[in-house]
Amino acid sequence: MKINPKYSMANFPFILAVFWTATVFADNGAACLEVPEHQARADIKVLLVGGGASHDFDKWYRGADVDILSEDGLADVRYTDNTDSILLYLPEIDVLYLTNNQPIGDAETRKAIMAFADSGKGLVLGHAALWYNWADWPEYNRALVGGGSNGHDKYGAFNVSVVNEKHPVTAGVPSLFNLKDELYYYKIDPNGPGIEVLATASTEGSDVFPSVFVVNHPKARIVGIALGHDGESHQLEAYQILLRNAVKWVAQ
């Protein structure tokens, strides 16, 4: 990680001044100062967690989604692909936005994420985070995702149909739109809390799968958004509206 010259030892007083808005943590064995990419004063504080395989997390999550959520001061967003740092940030945030498919292996971090939900905080679970990523952490999919996906169509065009236009998450979203993405085969876990489907995805003659939904968690507000493989989603106005609505709603 590159350190801006203004954080050098010659400007040590400045470092002390921003100590409470920065976090020191280990990155590849070296101590680094991570400063939020967006310092805008906003009511909603979001931690966006990315990283893993098969997706350009830096471009479409650290780049595009951080900008989408920061626009007009909606949220103060910090992005990390260091899952070991999640535990440090949870006490400071209102919304945890998980998009990663890399492991969250630390047992204390896993417990803290479940406790975050049990405390009534908000979660948004995007694309790769709706997969069955962790066989050794079944509670994640059962309790927080309400199910998950083990497969998807080959990348290509499909339709998304809003089935609940009255929900705040779908406000302003076209009732039907088309995009290129990976159509996730999301299936509900019968042992989970259940979900409320807000939008479905399908191609002609295919099964219909939940694409945007609310998990019926007893305490937390949780929204799942299966869209998001690349720019065909992130640069689409419907996706951008869904994401901003989701963060606003789960933060309440």
Determine whether 207 is exposed, middle or buried from the number of CB atoms within 10 Å of its CB (0-12, 13-18, 19+): exposed
- State in words which class domain 37-250 has: alpha beta
| Extents of the domains making up the chain | 1-35, 37-250
Taking all residues of the chain, what is their mean pLDDT, rounded to a whole number? Answer: 87
- Given a cut of 50, whether residue 186 has pLDDT beyond it is yes
> How much is the pLDDT for 25?
35
In this structure, is the dihedral angle defined by the CA atoms of residues 75, 81, 85 and 86, taken in order, positive or negative?
positive
- Given a cut of 70, whether residue 86 has pLDDT beyond it is yes
Q: What are phi and psi of 32, to 5 degrees?
A: -130, 155
> How much is the pLDDT for 50?
97
Would you place residue 43 in the very low, low, confident or very high pLDDT band (cuts 50, 70, 90)?
A: confident
The whole-angstrom separation of Cα 222 and Cα 241 is 17
CA distances from 178 to 22, 57, 83, 157, 236 (A): 41, 23, 33, 7, 10
Nearest 5 degrees, angle CA 20-CA 24-CA 29?
A: 180
In this structure, is the dihedral angle defined by the CA atoms of residues 96, 98, 102 and 103, taken in order, positive or negative?
positive
- Higher pLDDT pick, 239 / 18: 239
> How much is the pLDDT for 81?
96
What does the pLDDT average to over 209-215? 98
Summarised one tens digit per residue, pLDDT across range 140-177 is 999 999 999 999 999 999 999 999 999 999 999 999 99
CA distances from 191 to 45, 89, 130, 139, 194 (A): 32, 30, 16, 10, 8
Farthest CA pair distance, the chain = 65
Q: Catalogue the E-assigned strands of the chain.
A: 23-27, 30-34, 44-49, 75-80, 95-98, 122-126, 147-152, 156-162, 176-181, 184-188, 195-202, 209-215, 221-225
Q: Which two tokens stand for residue 145?
A: 């995702």
- Given a cut of 60, whether residue 26 has pLDDT beyond it is no
